[in-house]
Structure 1
Amino acid sequence: MRLSPQHIRAIREVVRHECGPEARVRLFGSRLDDTRRGGDVDVLVELEQPVGRPAVLAARLSARLSRRLDGRSVDVVLSAPNLPRSAVHRMAEQQGQLL
C-alpha cells in the first residue's frame, strides 16, 4: 500500500468526522500496488444509513481528503443502502483494503 501511516490516519479522521464513527473506508485502485508510482487515491466509503445529497458528500470528502493528503487527487465512491451499486463498488469491496 502506497500511503503513509499519517495519510491513513488522516483519511480515517476525515471520514469519521464527515460520516460518523460507523463508516468504513477502503482503499482500492493503483495505491494498493507497491510497484507503481503516482496515481490518485481511490476510496470507498461504506455507510450503513441512507445518504441525502450523496454528490455533495462525495465532493466534500474528496476536497477535505485532498487537502489532508498534500494535494493528491482523491476519488470517493459512496456505498449506502439508498445508492445504486455498480461494478466499481464490487471491485472495491473485493480488492480494496480496509483502512
Structure 2
Amino acid sequence: MRITQIQKHIICETAEKYFGSDVHIWLFGSRVNDQAKGGDIDLYIEPSIQNIADLVMAKLQFLRDLHKKMGEQKIDVVLRRLDSSLELSVYRIAKQTGIMLR
C-alpha cells in the first residue's frame, strides 16, 4: 500500500467526520500496488449517511479537508449509497482489489 500510516489516519478520521461513524473505506487502484509509481489516491467509500444532498456536501467537505491536511494531490472518491439498487462494476472492483482502510 502506497500511502503512509499518517495519510491512512487522516483519510479515516476525516471520512468518519463527514460520512458518519459507520463509514467503510477502501483504497484501490495504483496505490495498492507497492511496485507502481505515482498515481492518484482512489477511495471507495460506503457512508452511513444516504441522503443525496447530504452526500454531495459531505464529499466536497471531505475533499477540502483532505487537501488541507495532506496537501494538493489528486484524490478520486467513489461513493456508494447502500440503500441504492444501482450496482456499478467499480464498486465490485474496488472491494475485490482494494485494501480496506476502515
**Structure 1-normalised TM-score?**
0.87
Query: For 1:77 and 1:60, how far apart are their aligned partners in 2?
Result: 15
Q: 2:95 aligns with which of 74, 93, 96?
A: 93
Query: For 2:67 and 2:89, how far apart are their aligned partners in 1?
Result: 24
The alignment partner of 1:3 has SS state of coil
Unmatched segments (≥5 aa) in structure 2:
none
Percentage of pairs with the same residue: 27
Q: How many residues align?
A: 99
1:24-63 counterparts in 2 under 5 A?
Answer: 24-53=24-53, 54-63=55-64
Q: Spell out structure 1 runs of 4+ moving beyond 4 A.
A: none
**Structure 2-normalised TM-score?**
0.84
Query: For 2:49 and 2:60, how far apart are their aligned partners in 1?
Result: 18
Change (3 A) 1:25 1:94: same
